[in-house]
Amino acid sequence: MPLQAGMLAQAVARVAVALAAVTSLVSAQIDIADAHLGMASAGRTIRLGPASDSRGPVVVLPLEVYVARVLAGEGEPRAADAAQQALAIAIRTFALANPGRHARDGFDLCDGTHCQVPRMATAASRRATWTTAGQLLTYHGAPAELFYSASCGGYSERAAQVWPGLDYPYLQAAPDEVHADEAPWTLQLTLDEVQRALARTGFEGRLRDVRVDERNASGRAARIQLEGLSPDMIAGQPFRAAVGAIRLRSTAFTVERRGDTLSFTGRGYGHGVGMCVIGAGRRAGRGETAPAILAQYFPGLVLTKVGGALPSAGAPVPAAPSAGRSPAGRGAIVVYGPAVSPAAVADVERLTAAAHQALGTVLGVSVAPITVRLHDSIESFRHATGQPWWVSSVVDDTTIDLMPAPLLAQRDGVEQAIRMAVAELLVAPALAGRPRWVRVGAARYFARNTAGPSADSDQEVRCPADAELTLAVSVAAQREAEARAEACFARSYARTRDWRSVR
């Protein structure tokens, strides 16, 4: 037995050495192939970081190596060459149009579905990348903001239906006839399952039924009635995200309640905006070229080849750090904004310092340093925050993201937007863990009032559920929920006379 065991151990060791040699050879081949693509990148690189729900290092990849790896992760492995080439161009365009998508995190793009998902490159993905090296789609001379999904199910979706405020003429709802023979998908969920999913996003109450209340031009569910919950309405895309985007494949569905079970029947997989990967494969299979496929899904864009420096796609450019100090003198207020508008950056710096001084005195708190990012486009703001066009500012820890100054001027004004954002930043640590209306209401209240609690703030009003403030279906719904949050805070503040104790 000992001899047999020894012989077995030696055999296992020999196999391990052989496998290691094969692995080294494969790795070497991958390195050589990637180096080949790296030379085609002309020095352009992508800083690839981990998705928000994972941890990992930031890796710097040559652009074309990145494209080949994402094509392996996002494409159909056995699709015809034209479909692979079309998707490679779309992937490259997306990367070049979003250099600052994760600037706050210290890299360009993440490795999750928020950006694009890479895998180990294959021979097919490298071939398509090499064939199209440097090619991209442009809009008004800059890399185009574009998207793609697994399957549109026969009708592409308008971008503004998925991301409010993002509306381009080349990202509209349109029929895609190559899906006619696709079988619909089905999903069954209990009312309790859907209620629990919605409760995690801030909905309250007992769910009794789910009905599609409104459909958009593509036939997808634009607004959904939630009988028994507060709020009782949700947009289609947030509903899909809450239930689970993998389980509920798209918003192109019908729903029927049978007892305590909801039966969903739908078509497509993904948001449906822009190029359909499955549709592109079918078009390539019937002989369409990559330019023809791109023209179908992105009408009006110009297919070109990049040379030298690329024009910016709209990400904010860092400005020089401010020399302004917080009231406590513990650090600078740093403002980032469009390089073409130094006056706007200086104004934001001045208004932020003034708001911090005034509100810090009233609240008895101070925060430093404060970073303010003044965006120069709705797209840039949406990339950084994930919020729709009707949200003026987003506060995250000690960072404030602001919509472009011209838009703020059309609303409550730049100064008022900054005051609300600074107020939220100051109250947030003390109000952590409370319902969202407490923080939002406090920010709005103190941005408008520098005196103590009002004696006539005892009005009866229903405090908004978290979902009413984070998942509003329209600008009117958002403003109404924020107004109720402020009224609720004012009422509680008048009773307690201590803003920190409001719950």
Q: What is the CATH number of the domain that holds 354?
A: 3.40.390
The residue to which tokens 């979902």 are assigned: 467
Q: Which amino acid would we find at residue 324?
A: G
Same domain, 79 and 227: no
Q: Looking at the structure, tell me whether residues 248 and 289 fall in a common domain.
A: no
Mean pLDDT of 429-447: 94
Does a structural domain hold residue 452?
A: yes
Instruction: Name the pLDDT band for 461 (thresholds 50, 70, 90).
Output: confident
Check residue 450 and give its pLDDT: 64
Structure tokens at 374: 């003044």
Please check the confidence at residue 97 and state whether its pLDDT lies above 70.
yes
Structure tokens given for 256: 């029927």
Q: Is the pLDDT of residue 306 over 90?
A: no
Residues 464, 348 within the same domain: yes
Please choose, from the candidates 212, 209, 255, the residue with its C-alpha nearest in 3D space to the C-alpha of residue 235. 212
Mean pLDDT over residues 223-251, rounded?
96
* Residues whose CB is less than 8 angstroms from the CB of residue 209 and which lie 6 or more positions away in sequence, other chains included: 191, 225, 227, 228, 257
Ramachandran area for residue 13 (φ above 0: left; ψ -120 to 50: alpha; else beta): alpha
Residue 217 has pLDDT above 90, yes or no: yes
More confident site: 1 or 262? 262
pLDDT for position 325: 32
| Residue 311: per-residue pLDDT | 43
Burial environment of residue 380 by CB neighbours within 10 A (0 to 12, 13 to 18, 19 or more): buried
User: What's the pLDDT band for 100 if we cut at 50, 70, 90?
Assistant: confident
Q: How sure is the predictor about 318, in pLDDT bands with cuts at 50, 70 and 90?
A: very low
The confidence score (pLDDT) of residue 309 equals: 42
The H or E element that residue 452 is part of is none
Of the pLDDT bands very low, low, confident and very high (cuts 50, 70, 90), residue 327 is: very low
Owner of token pair 């008004």: 140
Query: Could you tell me if 261 and 281 lie in one domain?
Result: no
Structural domain includes residue 207: yes
Residue 29 has pLDDT above 80, yes or no: no
If asked whether residues 107 and 245 sit together in one domain, one would say: no
Tell me the C-alpha distance between 469 and 478, whole Å. Answer: 6
Domain limits for position 439: 333-501
Establish if 179 belongs to a structural domain. no
361 plus 403 within the same structural domain: yes
Q: Are residues 209 and 341 in the same domain?
A: no
Binned at pLDDT 50, 70 and 90, residue 299 comes out as very high
Tokens of residue 137, six digits: 């789609």
Q: Which three-class secondary structure state does DSSP give residue 323?
A: coil
- Residue range 358-367: mean pLDDT, rounded: 92
Query: Amino acid identity of 427?
Result: V
**Per-residue pLDDT tens over the stretch 170-203:** 999 999 999 999 999 999 999 999 999 999 999 9
How many CB atoms neighbour CB 475 within 10 A? Answer: 14
* Residue 268 predicted with pLDDT over 80: yes
* Closest by CA position to 366, among listed 400, 402, 398: 398
Residue 228 CA to residue 203 CA, distance in Å, equals 10
Residue 458 and residue 386 share a domain:
yes
CA 207 to chain centre: 28
CB of 372 closer than 8 Å to CB of 396 = no
Answer whether residue 481 is part of any domain: yes
**Domain-embedded: residue 78:** yes
Q: What mean pLDDT is predicted for residues 32-59?
A: 81
Query: Whole-angstrom Cα distance, residue 403 to residue 400?
Result: 10
Q: Are 489 and 439 in contact (CB under 8 A)?
A: no
Do the domain assignments include residue 14? no
Q: Which of 33-42, 150-159, 440-449, 462-471 has the lowest mean pLDDT?
A: 33-42
Separation of alpha carbons 298 and 168, rounded Å:
10
CB 135 within 8 A of CB 303: yes
Q: What backbone torsions phi and psi does residue 148 show, to the nearest 5 degrees?
A: -150, 160
Measured in whole angstroms, the distance separating CA 387 from the mean position of its chain's CA atoms is: 8
pLDDT bin (cut points 50, 70, 90) of residue 26 is very low
pLDDT band for 453, please (50, 70, 90 cuts). low
Say yes or no to pLDDT of 10 above 90: no
Q: Name the nearest CA neighbour of 176 among 248, 83, 268.
A: 268
324 vs 176, more confident: 176
pLDDT tens per residue across span 101-128: 888 788 999 999 889 999 999 999 999 9
Provide mean pLDDT across the span 388-404: 91
Q: How many CB atoms lie within 10 A of CB 169?
A: 9
Evaluate whether residue 261 is within a structural domain: yes
**Pair type for strands 204-215 and 333-336:** unpaired
Least confident of 169-173, 318-322, 410-414, 495-499: 318-322
Q: Which of 239, 266, 293 is the last residue of a domain?
A: 266
Residues 352, 335: contact at Cβ < 8 Å?
yes
Q: Which amino acid is at 457?
A: S
Domain assignment present for residue 34? The answer is yes
Q: What pairs with residue 332 in β-bridges?
A: 325
The DSSP letter of residue 446 is H
Same domain, 360 and 380: yes
For the cut 90, the answer to whether the pLDDT of residue 451 exceeds it is no
Domain check: are 366 and 292 in the same one?
no
More confident residue, 124 or 312: 124
> In whole numbers, what is the pLDDT of the chain averaged over residues?
86
Instruction: Report pLDDT digits (tens) over 126-163.
Output: 999 999 999 999 999 999 999 999 999 999 999 999 98
| 450 close to 358: Cβ distance less than 8 angstroms | yes
Q: Which residues contact 60 (CB under 8 A, 6 or more apart)?
A: 45, 46, 47, 48
> Which band of pLDDT confidence, cut at 50, 70 and 90, is reported for residue 307?
low
For position 469, what pLDDT does the model report?
A: 92
Q: Residue 13 above 60 pLDDT? A: no
420 and 451 fall within a common domain: yes
Strands, E assignment, 76-196: 109-110, 135-139, 142-143, 148-149, 155-156, 174-175, 185-190
Q: Tell me how many domains the chain contains.
A: 3
Whether residue 211 sits in one domain with residue 129: no
- Burial-class residue 219 by CB neighbours within 10 Å (0-12, 13-18, 19+): middle
At 33 the pLDDT is 65
Return d(Cα 488, Cα 461) in angstroms, integer.
7
What 3-state DSSP class applies to 199?
A: helix
Q: How confident is the model at residue 248 (pLDDT cuts 50, 70, 90)?
A: very high
Q: Which two tokens stand for residue 484?
A: 């109720």
**pLDDT tier at 99 (50, 70, 90 boundaries)?**
confident
> Quick one: pLDDT at residue 315?
40
**Of 212, 240, 266, which residue is a domain's last?**
266
